[in-house]
Each structure stands twice: as structure tokens, then as C-alpha cells.
Structure 1
Amino acid sequence: MDVLTQLIQIAQPQAELDLRCQMSGTYEIPHTVSSKGTAPFHLVLAGECLIETEQGILKAQAGDFVIFPRGAAHSIRSVTTSNLFHSAYRDDSGILPMNRIGNGVVEADLLCGHFKYEHEASKLLFQSLPDQLHISLLNDESNIPLQAIVDWTRQEANQGFPGALAIVTALCQSLLTIALRRFGENAHSPMNTLAVVVDPRLSVSVQALLKYPEKNWTIDTLGQISAMSRASYARHFKETTGLTVFEFITQVRMSVACHLLSKTDSQVSAVALEVGYQSEAAFGKAFKKHTGILPGQYRRTKSSFH
């Protein structure tokens, strides 16, 4: 199993669709800061609009997918403006509530939703992402499969056949994976923990670490898996991810532990062993240092196991 798939299985971010927006004329739709563990997203199905944040203004066009991993405040605005703001109405007859602004030709058609994720279990996925993650799915011929995903999403949203909402939600879940892969491929991003996804020398050792977090991992053993010397492995790891090897090992173990505590009924002592701690006391100390609370407290606040 590849590294990105392993990280996603640990974090389990879940897509939820909120509404569809079709806009014409002049408009501005503000979005306040989202709660912790909520990452709003917008998929531009057709047309274009402006997305404004504290960092500036992005012109989003058909096929653009924009995610706010830490729930940053932003506004959706028309490309052209005048003093006349058009009236808005809501239509609940489709698979999603529809916010329609203005009349005539639709100038921007957006699918809006959010990803829910557990903060601690998702650190390795989300910590190095920018406040606004933007990928274009239609920018070259190599993206023909991605164009098909966008077209399929638009068709399902338009036609509203049985199961359409489930299909559109699953497609948005796939788009998140694509966005994370794209970011991991961006070698120019500093402190990019997702760079291990595509780094040929690191990914094989990280796969082993994710599969067997309970093992007594050292820089030497991980370096051997990657066919690198201890010094070369440690240096390359820090340069690539911004983390030391041991910082990364700890984050992997704590992410897996958070997943097990919230999704299973395993005893805390068993979870400790599964992530490489021989005593519950040592695990509890490390867990509290990493998350701020003890494993039992975390389970009581986060557990979905029934």
C-alpha cells in the first residue's frame, strides 16, 4: 500500500456536500472561519469567479478545486462588479440546496462542501498544506481523466438520478486525494511532509514505518530500507520534510494512536503496544506531550466506536 493511501486511511477525512451555487451579475458571498477540523472546499463546475482571502485574490475557473485546510475565512466574488447587487433565492428541489444569484446566463457554477477530519490523526496530511490549496484539474491534455471527473460531477449534480449525491460526494473525496498528491509533488514547498509520498528514496521506508509503527525504528534501520547511509538518510529526510526522523516517527505513532483510540475499542495498553510503547505510562506521557491530553481523555472526547 502506498504512503498517501496509508495516511488517508489513518486520517479518514470525510467529504460532506453543503450546497450548489449558481451566480450571475454582481455578488459577494462571505465565508467565516470554520471550526477546527473542518476544511471548506469549492469546485468550479463551470464559469469563473474570484476567491478572496487575507493573502489576496484568486481567479478560479472551470475545473479549479480550492480547499481551505484550516478553515480560513474567504469570500466568493464576481469577476466584474457594479453598484447593482442581484437578488438571491434558494431552490431545494435538486440533490443539494441551490443558491441562485441573479438571472440569465450562469457565470459561475460552484459545488461547495467541506471535509471533516480529526486534527491530531490528520496532522501528517494537513500540517504542511497552505491556508488555501488550489489545484487546476483542466489545465493540460494530461488531465483528461480529471476532466472526466469534473464532467461526471457536473452531470450527476444536474440530473439528480438516484444515488447522485453519494456519487458526487465520492468524487469530491477522490479530488482531495488528487490535491494531496499534487501538493506532495511540489518540490518547491518548504516543510512539505507529504513530499515522502513521491520521494523514491524515502517512500519505501515510510511505507514500512506506517505499516509497522510498533517496531523499534531507528535512523539506521530506516536508512537501510532506503539503501542510504544513516547520515545521508537523516539529512535528506530533514531537507525534504522539515522534520527530523524521530519527529516524524512520533507523529506517525501518535496519528495511528488517535485513529485507534477513536475508531476501535482496544484497551489503551493495547494501543500503546501497537504504536511502539512497551508501557502504558510511557505512551500516556508521550501522547499528552503531543496532544495536550491523556489517551483516555482523548477517547472520551473523540470516540465514534459503539
Structure 2
Amino acid sequence: MTEIGEDALSGLAPLLRVRPQLDDVCRFGGTWAAVHEPEPAGQAYFHIITHGRAILQRPGDASLPVEAGDILLLPRGTAHTMRGPDLSAQASLPVLVHNQGSLRFKTSLGVEPEVELLCGRLRFEVAPQNLIVSALPDLLVLRVGEQPLSVRFHPLLVGIREELAEARAGALAIAENLASALFMLMLRTHLEGSAPTDGLLRLLGQRITAQAVLAMVRDPVRAWTLDDLAAVAAASRATLVRAFRKAAGVPPLEFLSELRLGLARHRLRTASASLDEIAAEAGYQSPGAFSRAFLRKYGVRPGRVRQETLSPGPD
């Protein structure tokens, strides 16, 4: 099991700034299917199965059975369908929808509910989180019913469900805050329980490199030197370089350059700042130097990325 470097996740938490939005409480029976279209960049889907069984289907992937106690996170908001266990059935039963504030309650008509799902989205509010999201797999599944996860997760799941069921004052806000805590627990569990192949996750898994990465993510524009980063990590320059090369295959300052380019690419796609401003934010003295580095990294000029973002897609 991988240990997270000294409270690296707590250091990342303010930068992640995840805002959950609970959309639907689904109580389905018989034949049913819930289609979810792709979400824009910076948004993820999550589903919490609180009762019964269901099937997750994603284009190009095998169907995945899920059951009560499972939590699904699709970090990149990819298209998928949640449906009943009977894959041979075709037509879905009619569904009654009623709103309670911004929350929708969906119930199959004419049958007893066999499954209950809490469905929502996570909205990532600032750029650095994309570094974490890009390092995650397309799908995270936590089987909370299995020990020892149930000890940690079950109280949160019960709290979310009870708040939504009782519909007392402030229930939705409380439920969404609990969902935010749930996401951080999911991320921690993934980092601790997996053997990540991504350099960023490996860097976060070691105390020395985690402290240096957090410092760079908090202030990517700063003119960091190797001495600065070694001081933050409480390590010698040689030790820090060896740790970075072992975990990510690059020395610290090269990782910083890649970090800045990743943030710049996100800004090009999501912000209205000029190319000159984004180049400066990425730590480049001139737009030309920024453009050349961006081309080497991504095989395309930053101006082209901006144009593709602004151009409407095909109908």
C-alpha cells in the first residue's frame, strides 16, 4: 500500500476546491435506464448506490455490476448509462419526476423500487485540480460495503441519505458538504490503495517529493530554484533530484516546467486571458519561448488550442 507523503492531500485540498452538486435521487424498479451525456471540462460525475443493484455501461467498456455501498466517480465526466441488472430488457418503465428545490426525485411507476441511487456532479473550480484529475483513471469504484472502508464511509453515506430523506432546513447544503468530504476520502483511498503508474501520484506518495510538489502547485509562477525546493522538502539537492527521477523520471525543475505547461493548457481552454498573460503566468519571459515549449510538449501551438476552444464544433 502506498503511503501519502506527510499530509499532502490536506495541502492539495484548498487547491482542489471541489463543489459537489447533487442532482437526482433515483428510486427505480423493473426495467430502467438513466443516460448521462458527456460533461464539460472541469466536471465529474458521481453515483452512490444506497440500495439494490445496477449496471454501469460506458462506450467501449464492459458492463460493470454495482450494488449498495458502491461509490462511482467518473473524473472526466465521460458519457455513460446507469441501468437495471436485466440487460436483456428493452423498453424502460415510465418515471415520475418531482422537484424539491434544485434536487430531482425520480421514481419508476407501477413497480416497487428495487434500487436507489444518489447522482450528482463535482465541479472543479480552479486550475491545479486538473493535474490530479488527469492522473486518475477514467473510473474510480469504491466498494464501501467491504471492510475496512465501511467504517470510514458508511457514516457519510448514511448522513447524505438521511439529510435528503428528511428534507429539513439546509439539508441539501449539508448533503453536498458531506459529498465533498466523501470525494476527498475517495481520493485518499485511491492514492493509498493503488500502485499508481502516473508520476504525479508517485510524487505525492513520498514525503520529500510531496512537499516540493505542493509548493510548486501552490505557487507555480514563482522562480523556483533547486535550492528553494530542497529547503521546502528538508532534503539535500541530490536527494531531491534522485527522488524525483525515481518517481517521475524527470528532475524537479523539469517537472515544474511540465506543471506550468499543464496549467497553461487548462487556461487556454477555460479562460479569456491573452496568450501573453498566460505565457507570463507559466513563467516564460516571452510568448515566443512559451509557444516553442508548448509545441515541444503537446505538438501544437497555444494559439491553435485557443482557436479550437473558441470555434464551434460540428452540428
Where does residue 224 of structure 2 map in the other structure? 217
> In structure 2, what residue type is equivalent to 1:182?
T
232-241 vs 139-148, which deviates more? 232-241
Where does residue 34 of structure 1 map in the other structure? 39
Where does residue 150 of structure 1 map in the other structure? 157
Q: CA RMSD in A?
A: 4.0
User: 1:155-304, aligned counterparts within 5 Å?
Assistant: 155-219=162-226, 221-223=228-230, 225-226=232-233, 228=235, 230-241=237-248, 244-253=251-260, 293=302
* 2:24/2:119 contact within 8 Å kept: yes
Where does residue 57 of structure 1 map in the other structure? 63
Q: Tell me by how many angstroms 1:36 deviates.
A: 2.7
Q: Tell me by how many angstroms 1:32 deviates.
A: 3.0
* 1:36/1:71 contact within 8 Å kept: yes
Where does residue 3 of structure 2 map in the other structure? none
The whole-number CA distance in structure 2 between the counterparts of 1:214 and 1:37 is 22
Runs of 5+ consecutive residues of structure 1 not aligned to the other structure: 302-306
The whole-number CA distance in structure 2 between the counterparts of 1:268 and 1:122 is 21
CA 1:74–1:269: 2 relative to 1, 3 Å: closer
Where does residue 87 of structure 1 map in the other structure? 93
The whole-number CA distance in structure 1 between the counterparts of 2:266 and 2:14 is 9
* 1:64/1:135 contact within 8 Å kept: yes
CA 1:31–1:268: 2 relative to 1, 3 Å: closer
CA 1:147–1:187: 2 relative to 1, 3 Å: closer
165-174 vs 90-99, which deviates more? 90-99
> In structure 2, what residue type is equivalent to 1:72?
T
The one-character-per-residue Cα deviations of 1:37-74 (angstroms, maximum 9, x if unpaired) are 32111111222211122232222222222111222222
Where does residue 4 of structure 1 map in the other structure? 9
SS in 1 for 2:30: coil
> Quick check: 1:134 aligned with 2:128?
no
> In structure 1, what residue type is equivalent to 2:53?
E
* 1:4/1:181 contact within 8 Å kept: yes
> Quick check: 1:71 aligned with 2:73?
no
The whole-number CA distance in structure 2 between the counterparts of 1:243 and 1:118 is 29
* 1:124/1:251 contact within 8 Å kept: no
The whole-number CA distance in structure 2 between the counterparts of 1:230 and 1:192 is 19
CA 1:152–1:271: 2 relative to 1, 3 Å: same
The whole-number CA distance in structure 1 between the counterparts of 2:260 and 2:113 is 49
The one-character-per-residue Cα deviations of 1:190-233 (angstroms, maximum 9, x if unpaired) are 11523433422322222333444454334454345445554553
TM (norm. structure 2) is: 0.74
The whole-number CA distance in structure 1 between the counterparts of 2:181 and 2:258 is 25
> Quick check: 1:45 aligned with 2:50?
yes
* 1:15/1:115 contact within 8 Å kept: yes
268-277 vs 63-72, which deviates more? 268-277
The whole-number CA distance in structure 1 between the counterparts of 2:280 and 2:7 is 24
The whole-number CA distance in structure 2 between the counterparts of 1:11 and 1:142 is 23
The one-character-per-residue Cα deviations of 1:106-152 (angstroms, maximum 9, x if unpaired) are 22211111123368543311111111122233321454232110000
> In structure 2, what residue type is equivalent to 1:197?
L
SS in 2 for 1:39: strand
> In structure 2, what residue type is equivalent to 1:19?
D
* 2:36/2:81 contact within 8 Å kept: yes
Q: Tell me by how many angstroms 1:261 deviates.
A: 11
The whole-number CA distance in structure 2 between the counterparts of 1:218 and 1:65 is 42
SS in 2 for 1:131: coil
Where does residue 304 of structure 1 map in the other structure? none
Runs of 5+ consecutive residues of structure 2 not aligned to the other structure: 1-5, 311-315
252-261 vs 153-162, which deviates more? 252-261
The one-character-per-residue Cα deviations of 1:162-193 (angstroms, maximum 9, x if unpaired) are 21111122222222222222222244121152
CA 1:178–1:107: 2 relative to 1, 3 Å: same
Q: Tell me by how many angstroms 1:243 deviates.
A: 5.6
SS in 2 for 1:34: coil
Q: How many aligned positions are there?
A: 298
* 1:193/1:241 contact within 8 Å kept: yes
135-144 vs 160-169, which deviates more? 135-144
The whole-number CA distance in structure 2 between the counterparts of 1:135 and 1:8 is 20
* 2:76/2:138 contact within 8 Å kept: yes
94-103 vs 222-231, which deviates more? 222-231
* 1:121/1:254 contact within 8 Å kept: no
